[in-house]
Structure 1
Amino acid sequence: MGSLLNVTFVRLVLLLGTLCLSQGLKHNNRNVTSARQGKLFSLFNIVSFDNGPCQSSSSVGSGTNGNRNGTCYTANECIQRGGSSSGNCAAGFGVCCVFYLSSGGTTAQNCTYLRNDNFPSGLSTTNGQSFTINKCSCDVCYLRLDFLTFSIQGMALTDEIMGSACVDSLKVTSSSNEPIPEICGQNSGQHIYVDMDRGCSGNAKLDFSFTGEASTRIFEIKATQIECGSRSTPPDGCLQYHTNLDGRFTTFNYAPMDNLHLEDQDYSICIRQELGYCCVQYSVCPDDEALGFSLSKGVIADNAYTDSECATLDFVGIEGSSSACRQSGVPSTVFSRYCGQKLNDYTTAALHTPICDCSPPFQVRIFTNKISDIEDDETNTKISRGVCFEYTQIPCN
């Protein structure tokens, strides 16, 4: 608001200055011409505005609502920095400058969109693409990657057995050396946080690898840098971070109905506790109860299993949880792992039940291994799609 008032004041000053100069022309036309030029030059010099975020006129598209974000610069600054002007900001004195990086490369510009060559068309080559994001400021600690569009080849096989790895892959690394799982498949709408380490030289790298010919590879990833101590900063160890009172999350590559969840995953999805809320309740997504909890399927995991029974299976970890949502006092029995085909704290149960966690911080661990989901020569005819959870924060008593 302050910036708009300053710009309005400057416009008023310019108008008054022009009127005064116009009146002065009646008295001394020759001298006033040069004086007018000097005064206008000095008045324009005092126009300034913050290089803050702005919403551009460029639509994200691809089924995602909203427009791309940019940074408010003058038109010349936008060109010099390699951005694209898309709409106005600062009451018309600036342009909303959007930054794109295609076919790989390096950038230190906040809010950069990483895209495949020839976007929005599919990738026409199998050559790998690598992107490097350097800190735009020493105050930055995290990088958030939003997968606005993400479609690359997924798992090699249609049943999860030993060696069923990604055909294509995205590997994210950072200067902090935090472990980040390799992902592939369909992940539009997903996001991850990357620890960029402290200090001024931190960075993050995204390496895409492609195998074989395919016409469906396409991606656009929004890379936003987050200052240390920001309310948007996730707790340590959180690959994903949700900040609403309720919402939904899924495992990677959950979107296609005929594909599998990814193997060799170990990461945490975290929920920010809001003031006045003491518990989080998790439920299998009601619109996909058949496959919404299908990490380990086959002969040994048709129903619900917990804790030690999940030792050799893929599982979801929710420490100190149970179906009893008790805020005062710990339930008599709590669990830390859930696996099988049904989400339930009652072993061999054949129905889903909501699971409640009243012991913050609120984290859900996703763990999948490379061990076969089938036994001996049995054929796994059931799809191990992964996990789809809805969460709701419960108010304190």
Structure 2
Amino acid sequence: MNETLELLLAIGLPTLAALGTAVAVVSRRRRRPPTLPPAERAPETPPADAPPTDAPPTEGLVPPPVTEPDVVVPDTPAELAPELEVPEAVGGRLARLRGRLARSGSPLGARLLAVLSRDHLTEDDWDELEETLLLADVGAGPTGELIDALRTEVRVRGIQDPAAARALLREQLVALVDPSLDRSLATQPVVGDDGEPRPAVVLVVGVNGTGKTTTVGKLARVLVAEGRTVVLGAADTFRAAAADQLETWGSRVGVPTVRSDRDGADPAAVAFDAVRTGRSTGADVVLVDTAGRLQNKAGLMDELGKITRVITREAPLSEVLLVLDATTGQNGMNQARVFAEVAGVTGVVLTKLDGTAKGGIVVAVQRELGLPVKLVGLGEGADDLAPFDVDDFVDGLLGDGTA
């Protein structure tokens, strides 16, 4: 038995070893890449430090095409400075005020002229005139004065034709709006107690929704059109969009905006920084926008007083403009009264004046508060803010550009 086992082992082990060697050789041959003929072999790339060799002859060979990289060359530089807008001259805006009011239908002037042009004015006609003026927010006091003046003049002059009625009405409306009020804007730089120049500081106040921030941007365009250098102060820190909006307005005409990097920052600090920036850069005017405030919010009104006190440490206030919506009516009077007490308002900006029957608010504001209307908003265009002119305003209300 042992001899048989030894015989099998002697025969089987060499056989298995031979088979394993054959399998390994076949496996290595299968993994080896096929050998190409010399003509089809790729040229070997010599190492970088190999010595130069004689280059093969290149005669009769066509070089492969050179592939250019995918690079797009722009026709213009990658970054171009934005082109600054040129605001419309102020003189053109004054003419547009009259034209827009005339084209709007001028409901106030049209109704007054329709009644005054009647052959014989009865008490009912005078009552209609009075009602028209009251609905236009002229106010009870000024309305009574105008009716009494018209009654007297109609009786004395014997008004019977539309042209004479219009001339009379124009004369009385001009007197009611009061052309003697100072409507100029104090935007000239001033000299401080130390003899150093200070920019004129214009603080713009008002309630939400009156177009206050837009008015500040448009006023900057008015000043730029007059050749002034301006700095904007975004002191409405409770509404991030307000600072963005103001910055956009300024960038269009090359005016810098001073703003806070965080929402809810101290408005007085931002206003102070804006005035200091205007002083250091030699600007002519600093326009400071403030957050919209309701007249019954005592805390916010106190804050407005703080802004005023802080600004005056750096430069005196030249103007405090109150922005009012011409369509708000008598409610605007209450707003104006409280703002005048807190912020020392020096003038009024009436927005949305184009095409409104509420033009009488001009008279009411001036008569009850002693505040002149200095600027009027005529529409939504960038240059639709114009200095207020009594003659143009009255002619617009009457629907005709000629006296």
TM-score by length of 1: 0.24
**Relative contact order: is structure 1 or structure 2 higher (C-alpha 8 Å, sep ≥ 6)?**
2
Larger-Rg structure: 2
More strand by share: 1
More helix by share: 2
